[in-house]
C-alpha cells in the first residue's frame, strides 16, 4: 500500500479529513534540484480557527476514552512508521535534503516516539497528598485540551512527532503547523499515519503555513499549550504572544554548542566526532557543534585533520548518489551561511577548508585562527561550518564555553571522564555528552536547553511529556458536607 498517494493530499489540508485550503496552495520543491515534487495546501487564519474549534470539540470524547484505546492507536502508528519507512524516508531525502541514513534515523525515531507515547497513556497521572482536614486530597494530571505544535524544516518528522504523539496519548487534540518547505515529510505523513492508525476524526489537524498561520495558532483561544521548535528570534515572538494570552509555550530554540577537546583526547576520534557534529545534515541542526574549543597542544593537528576530512567529504544530491552532505534548504539560508563565513575571513579567520558553494550545495568548512568575536563563531550559523578556537587550560575552556547566550548541548572529549564531568558542571547546558559530539537525541530522554536555547526540557521522556501536555488539578473528597459557622 502507498501511504502518500498524491491523489489523497494534493493541494489540501488535513482537518477533519482532506479539505481545500482557504489560504491557497504552495509548491513543494526539492532543494537539490529545485524541481516541483508536490503541491500542499496553505492554511490561513480562517483555516486555523475552524481546526482549533473542531479539535476542542473532538478532544472531550478522546480524553474520556479508555487509555487502552489511546495506546492502541499509538502502537498502530508506530507499526505504520516501520512499515512505510522507505516511502517516508524517500520524501525526507527529496524534500528536506536528507542523506538516507539521516532519513532512517527520523523514521526509526518516529516509530519509537509513538511506542513510548503508547506506554505514556497508562502512566499513573496523580498522587494522594496529605490534608489537615478529614478528607481525601488528590493531585491529578488532566489533558490541557488542544495543543498547538509548530515544527521546523531541518528534522521535520522528529521535531513534529515528538510533540504530536505524547500530546495525543495523554488525551489532547493537536493542531500541527509544519514548515511549508517540508510540509509533506513533516506534516502530511503524520496525518496519513494517524489516519491509517484509526485516530478518531477531528483530533489531529495538519495546517502548513507561514507566519500568519503560526500567529493565528498561538492566539486561538482553544489552544492552551504551544509546543514550538525553531529559531530563538521566532521563539521569543511565540513566547511573547503566548504570554499575552496567558497560555504556556514550550520553546526549543537555537544553539551554538561547544565541543571541548581536552589535551588528553584521542586526536583521530576527536576529529571524527567534530566532523560529524558540525557537518551532519549540512549543519542544519539546533545541536550542531558550532564551536570547537581545542587545547593548544592539539589545535594545529586538529585543524589540519578536520580540514582534510572536510575536503574529502562528498557533497551532492542524496537522491541520486551516495554523499555525506546534501543541499542547504534554500537560497536564503545558504546566503546567511556564506555571509558569516566571508565576514569571518575578512575579520582575520583562516579558511582551512570549504567556504564555497555550487547552487545549494555548500562545502563543509573549517575556520582556524578564530577569536570569540569571529562572526561564524559568535553566532549560530546553521550550516556546515566548524570554527576552531584554542585554549590553554581548563579555566579558559570553561570561560570560552560559557561565553554565549545559548545553552543547548555540550560535548567534552577526554580520557579522564571525571575531569570532563567536573568541567561540564561549570558550563550551563541542557544536554551534556562526555566523549561524544553535541548532536544526540532519544525518545526516552528529556530534551531542551537553557537561556536563549529555550525553556528547558519539555520534550522527550515520560516526566517531561506529562509536564508539557497536562494541567495539574487538586481534588478533595469527603463523606459529608462540611458545616460552616454561617
pLDDT digits (tens, 9 = 90+) for 8-52: 899 999 999 999 999 999 999 999 999 999 999 999 999 999 999
Task: Report the pLDDT averaged over residues 465-470.
Answer: 95
Predicted confidence (pLDDT) per residue in 75-114, tens digit: 999 999 999 999 999 999 999 999 999 999 999 999 999 9
The residues near 211 (Cβ < 8 Å, ≥ 6 apart) are none
Predicted confidence (pLDDT) per residue in 59-77, tens digit: 999 999 999 999 999 999 9
pLDDT at 461: 87
Longest dimension (CA), the chain: 85
- The residue written with cell numbers 570547537 in the block is 292
The CA–CA distances, whole Å, from 297 to 152, 271, 302 equal 40, 14, 10
Short-list 262, 279, 261, 81, CA closest to 185: 81
Q: Which of 52, 116, 286, 380 is catalytic?
A: 286
Whether residue 1 is predicted with pLDDT greater than 80 in this model: the reply is no
Query: What superfamily does domain 257-434 belong to in CATH?
Result: Aldehyde Dehydrogenase; Chain A, domain 2 (3.40.309.10)
Whole-number Å distance between alpha carbons of 280 and 98? 9
CB distance 193 to 176 below 8 Å: no
Question: What are the start and end residues of each CATH 3.40.309.10 domain in the chain?
Answer: 257-434
pLDDT at 166: 98
Written in H, E and C, the secondary structure of the chain is CCCCCHHHHCCEEEECCEEECCCCEEEEECCCCCCEEEEEECCCHHHHHHHHHHHHHHHHHHHHCCHHHHHHHHHHHHHHHHHCHHHHHHHHHHHHCCCHHHHHHHHHHHHHHHHHHHHHCCCCCEEEECCCCCCEEEEEEEECCEEEEECCCCCCCHHHHHHHHHHHHCCCEEEEECEHHHCHHHHHHHHHHHHHHCCCCCCEEECCECHHHHHHHHHCCCEEEEEEECCHHHHHHHHHHHHHCCCEEEEECCCCEEEEECCCCCHHHHHHHHHHHHHHHHHCCCCCEEEEEEECCCHHHHHHHHHHHHHHCCECCCCCCCCCECCCCCHHHHHHHHHHHHHHHHCCCEEEECCCEECCEECCEEEECCCCCCHHHHCCCCCCEEEEEEECCHHHHHHHHHCCCCCCEEEEECCCHHHHHHHHCCCCCCEEEECCCCCCCCCCCCECCCHHHECCCCECCHHHHHHHHEEEEEEEECCCCCCCCC
Categorize the per-residue pLDDT at 338 as very low, low, confident or very high, splitting at 50, 70 and 90.
Answer: very high
CB distance 338 to 273 below 8 Å: no
Q: Which of 252, 380, 467, 471 is catalytic?
A: 252
231 CB burial (10 A radius; 0-12, 13-18, 19+): middle
Question: What are the start and end residues of each CATH 3.40.605.10 domain in the chain?
Answer: 6-253+454-475
Any catalytic annotation for residue 52? no
Predicted confidence (pLDDT) per residue in 401-459, tens digit: 999 999 999 999 999 999 999 999 999 999 999 999 999 999 999 999 999 999 987 88
- What CATH number matches the domain at 6-253+454-475, 1.10.2020.10, 3.20.20.70, 3.40.605.10, 3.40.30.10? 3.40.605.10
User: Up-side HSE of residue 145: CA atoms within 13 Å toward CB?
Assistant: 14
Any catalytic annotation for residue 252? yes
CB distance 468 to 250 below 8 Å: yes
Helical packing angle, 232-244 and 211-219, nearest 10°: 30
Predicted confidence (pLDDT) per residue in 224-282, tens digit: 999 999 999 999 999 999 999 999 999 999 999 999 999 999 999 999 999 999 999 99
How far from chain centre, in Å, is Cα 170? 20
Give this prediction's pTM.
0.96
- Parallel, antiparallel or unpaired: strands 385-391 and 289-295: parallel
Whole-number Å distance between alpha carbons of 469 and 154? 24
Predicted confidence (pLDDT) per residue in 143-183, tens digit: 999 999 999 999 999 999 999 999 999 999 999 999 999 99
Residues facing residue 13 across a β-bridge: 19
CB distance 369 to 350 below 8 Å: yes
Short-list 152, 4, 23, 167, CA closest to 86: 4
pLDDT at 211: 95
**Rounded to 10 degrees, what is the CA torsion of 282, 5, 191, 70?**
-120
Of the listed ranges 98-102, 385-389, 462-466, the one predicted with least confidence:
462-466
Categorize the per-residue pLDDT at 2 as very low, low, confident or very high, splitting at 50, 70 and 90.
Answer: confident
Amino acid at each position: 500500500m502507498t501511504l502518500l498517494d498524491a491523489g489523497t493530499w494534493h493541494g489540501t489540508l488535513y482537518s477533519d479529513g482532506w479539505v481545500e485550503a482557504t489560504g491557497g496552495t504552495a509548491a513543494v520543491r526539492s532543494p537539490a534540484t529545485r524541481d516541483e515534487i508536490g503541491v500542499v495546501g496553505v492554511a490561513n487564519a480562517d483555516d486555523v480557527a475552524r481546526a482549533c474549534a473542531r479539535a476542542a470539540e473532538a478532544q472531550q470524547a478522546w480524553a474520556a476514552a479508555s487509555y487502552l484505546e489511546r495506546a492502541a492507536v499509538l502502537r498502530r502508528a508506530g507499526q505504520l512508521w516501520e512499515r512505510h519507512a522507505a516511502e517516508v524516508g524517500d520524501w525526507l531525502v527529496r524534500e528536506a535534503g536528507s542523506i538516507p541514513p539521516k532519513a532512517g534515523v527520523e523514521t526509526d525515531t518516529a516509530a519509537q516516539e509513538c511506542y513510548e507515547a503508547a506506554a505514556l497513556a497508562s502512566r499513573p497521572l496523580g498522587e494522594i497528598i496529605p490534608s489537615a482536614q478529614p478528607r481525601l486530597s488528590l493531585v491529578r494530571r488532566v489533558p490541557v485540551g488542544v495543543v498547538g505544535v509548530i515544527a521546523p524544516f531541518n528534522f521535520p518528522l522528529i521535531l513534529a512527532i515528538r510533540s504530536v504523539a505524547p500530546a495525543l496519548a495523554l488525551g489532547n487534540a493537536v493542531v500541527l503547523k509544519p514548515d511549508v518547505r517540508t510540509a509533506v515529510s513533516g506534516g502530511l505523513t503524520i496525518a496519513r499515519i494517524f489516519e491509517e492508525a484509526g485516530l478518531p476524526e477531528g483530533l489531529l489537524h495538519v495546517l502548513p503555513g507561514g507566519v500568519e498561520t503560526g500567529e493565528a495558532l498561538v492566539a486561538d483561544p482553544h489552544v492552551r499549550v504551544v509546543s514550538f521548535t525553531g529559531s530563538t528570534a521566532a521563539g521569543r515572538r511565540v513566547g511573547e504572544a503566548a504570554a499575552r494570552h496567558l497560555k504556556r509555550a514550550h520553546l526549543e530554540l537555537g544553539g551554538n554548542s561547544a565541543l571541548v577537546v581536552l589535551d588528553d583526547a584521542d586526536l583521530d576520534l576527536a576529529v571524527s566526532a567534530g566532523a560529524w557534529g558540525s557537518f551532519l545534515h549540512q549543519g542544519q541542526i539546533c545541536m550542531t557543534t558550532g564551536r570547537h574549543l581545542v587545547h593548544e597542544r592539539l589545535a594545529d593537528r586538529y585543524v589540519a585533520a578536520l580540514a582534510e576530512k572536510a575536503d574529502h567529504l562528498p557533497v551532492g544530491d542524496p537522491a541520486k548518489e551516495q554523499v555525506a552532505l546534501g543541499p542547504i534548504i534554500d537560497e536564503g539560508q545558504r546566503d546567511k551561511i556564506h555571509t558569516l563565513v566571508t565576514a569571518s575571513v575578512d575579520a582575520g579567520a583562516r579558511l582551512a577548508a570549504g567556504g564555497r558553494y555550487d547552487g545549494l550545495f555548500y562545502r563543509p568548512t573549517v575556520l582556524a585562527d578564530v577569536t570569540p568575536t569571529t562572526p561564524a563563531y559568535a553566532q549560530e550559523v546553521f550550516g556546515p561550518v566548524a570554527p576552531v578556537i584554542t585554549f590553554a587550560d581548563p579555566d579558559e575552556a570553561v570561560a570560552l564555553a560559557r561565553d554565549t547566550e545559548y545553552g543547548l548541548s555540550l560535548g567534552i572529549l577526554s580520557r579522564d571522564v571525571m575531569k570532563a564531568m567536573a568541567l561540564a558542571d561549570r558550563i550551563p547546558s541542557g544536554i551534556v555528552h562526555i566523549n561524544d559530539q553535541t548532536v544526540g537525541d532519544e525518545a526516552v530522554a528529556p530534551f531542551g536547553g537553557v537561556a536563549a536555547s529555550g525553556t528547558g526540557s519539555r520534550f522527550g521522556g515520560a516526566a517531561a511529556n506529562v509536564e508539557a501536555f497536562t494541567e495539574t488539578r487538586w481534588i478533595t473528597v469527603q463523606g459529608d458536607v462540611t458545616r460552616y459557622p454561617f
